Amino acid sequence: MPEHTTVTPPHIVIYTDGACKGNPGPGGWGAVLRSGDHEKQIHGGEKLTTNNRMEISAVIFALRALKQPSSVEIWTDSQYVQKGVTEWLEGWKKQGWRTASKDPVKNADLWQELDALLPNHEISWHWVRGHNGHPGNELVDQLANKGVERFLA
């Protein structure tokens, strides 16, 4: 009889950032996914958006890029994203996507999209101070700004 083996999911470290020139204005997002010696850099943007939408979008696109369920560390300089997922999301869902003050949750479309991706992975969330010399954060800041550039004329 064969022995039962447990497959350990791959460990992925993800850095994400969003940027906006004007708020609202042209925006971009960037993400770096690292696993062992492999690194994937992705970025994109929108012509008219907000910084918070780009911060959430960076995480969404990074999680979409994963090809299988994974053990994931997500590093963001956005307390809005980190606290949104770890502190506020469950309450928003229970309250029909309304805040504690009964207002509609801003960016609910993106929060719902992100929420649908979360169960596929084991995720730990980490906040890093932006523009403070952290190499992963500095790299995704550059990628996010690259996402903005195509909309600047």
Please pick, among 27, 46, 84, 141, the residue that the annotation labels catalytic. Answer: 141
Please pick, among 46, 77, 84, 147, the residue that the annotation labels catalytic. Answer: 77
Please pick, among 45, 55, 84, 147, the residue that the annotation labels catalytic. Answer: 55
Is 77 labeled as catalytic in the residue annotation?
yes
Q: Up-side HSE of residue 122: CA atoms within 13 Å toward CB?
A: 6
Which amino acid makes up residue 28?
G
Is 55 labeled as catalytic in the residue annotation?
yes
* Residues 102, 96, 70: CA angle, nearest 5 degrees: 125
What is the Cα–Cα distance from 145 to 31, expressed in whole angstroms? 11
Please pick, among 22, 87, 109, 131, the residue that the annotation labels catalytic. Answer: 131
Is 131 labeled as catalytic in the residue annotation?
yes
Is 37 labeled as catalytic in the residue annotation?
no
Please pick, among 18, 28, 30, 44, the residue that the annotation labels catalytic. Answer: 18
Q: Give catalytic residue positions.
A: 17-18, 55, 77, 131, 141
